[in-house]
């Protein structure tokens, strides 16, 4: 079993006619994802390698039954693309676009909380359920089917930890990149609860980073609500104080938001924290009762 995306995913890509949208959308199709439509205003009636293009998400959903949307449009248009997908009744929106203004995301976040559409991202690598569906830019060849759920704020660290796990013979139920911006559609808590409810996920790995208090709040939630073992990694133990880091959400204020503070908060709740991706994989292996 997987969470969020799987064999029943019907994908529509906003921006499929663009260079990045077509490259990754078609790559998702090659993996096995059911790519049913693209959307680019003014280009309805065209197609991209046999995938029909519509002027609106509403038209695409009505014609193809799309239930998942991937947004690959420039930052100034991305918020409206997400809202259009929600208004069309799409169940899940994966927004890859980075650089969306925070004010726009506040508007999107507030609106989506009133409805049933779930947003993953923005500024994220997407979602991969190995052997079932890939929606985003995650390099699927790193991963195989298995029982480890992986959720991360970082894209490339997701790939590295996944590769470390694969090297020890572990596969994944689903990999979810929630995004590194200050405001994202889904939190660690949201995704971890889905893994907790997934009967085929036996262990959860969360990959956090410096900035904000998401990991600290998640530690409290795990202690009270999650029965499955959780292993964590926090990127940024060696980050120079005062240094501006890559993600917009990686903002440290005094001693708050540092890797050390986050690790201490997690460990205080009994959650094992690896200091390197290799350490995380070894800890996960021990937690699953495997030899390392």
Tell me which residues are annotated as active site: 247
Residues in CB range of 91: below 8 A, 6 or more apart: 67, 68, 116, 117, 118
CA 83 to chain CA centroid, nearest Å: 18
Cα separation values, 153 from 111, 125, 130, 188, Å: 23, 9, 19, 8
- CA dist., res. 164 & res. 244, Å (int): 28
Residue 222 · residue 269 · CB < 8 Å: yes
Residue 222 · residue 192 · CB < 8 Å: yes
Closest CA to 44 of 23, 60, 29: 60
């Amino acid at each position: 079993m997987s969470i969020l995306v799987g064999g029943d995913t019907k994908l529509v890509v906003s921006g499929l006619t663009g260079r990045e949208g077509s490259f990754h959308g078609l790559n998702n199709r090659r993996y096995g994802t059911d790519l049913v439509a693209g959307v680019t205003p003014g280009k309805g009636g065209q197609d991209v390698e046999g995938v029909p293009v519509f002027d609106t998400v509403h038209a695409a959903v009505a014609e193809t039954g799309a239930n998942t949307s991937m947004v690959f449009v420039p930052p100034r248009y991305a918020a409206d693309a997400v809202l259009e997908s929600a208004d069309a009744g799409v169940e899940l929106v994966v927004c890859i676009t980075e650089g969306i203004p925070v004010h726009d995301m506040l508007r999107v976040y507030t609106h989506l909380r009133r409805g049933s559409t779930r947003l993953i991202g923005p500024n994220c690598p997407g979602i991969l359920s190995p052997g079932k569906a890939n929606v985003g830019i995650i390099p699927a060849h790193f991963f195989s089917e298995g029982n480890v759920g992986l959720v991360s704020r970082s894209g490339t660290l997701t790939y590295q930890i996944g590769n470390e796990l694969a090297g020890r013979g572990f596969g994944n139920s689903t990999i979810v990149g929630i995004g590194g911006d200050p405001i994202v559609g889904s939190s660690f808590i949201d995704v971890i609860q889905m893994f907790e409810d997934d009967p085929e996920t036996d262990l959860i790995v969360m990959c956090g980073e410096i900035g904000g208090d998401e990991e600290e709040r998640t530690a409290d939630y795990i202690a009270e609500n999650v029965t499955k073992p959780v292993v964590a990694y926090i990127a940024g133990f060696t980050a120079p104080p005062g240094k501006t880091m890559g993600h917009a959400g990686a903002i440290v204020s005094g001693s708050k938001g540092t890797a050390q503070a986050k690790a201490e908060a997690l460990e205080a709740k009994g959650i094992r924290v690896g200091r390197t991706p290799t350490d995380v994989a070894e800890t996960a292996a021990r937690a699953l009762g495997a030899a390392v």
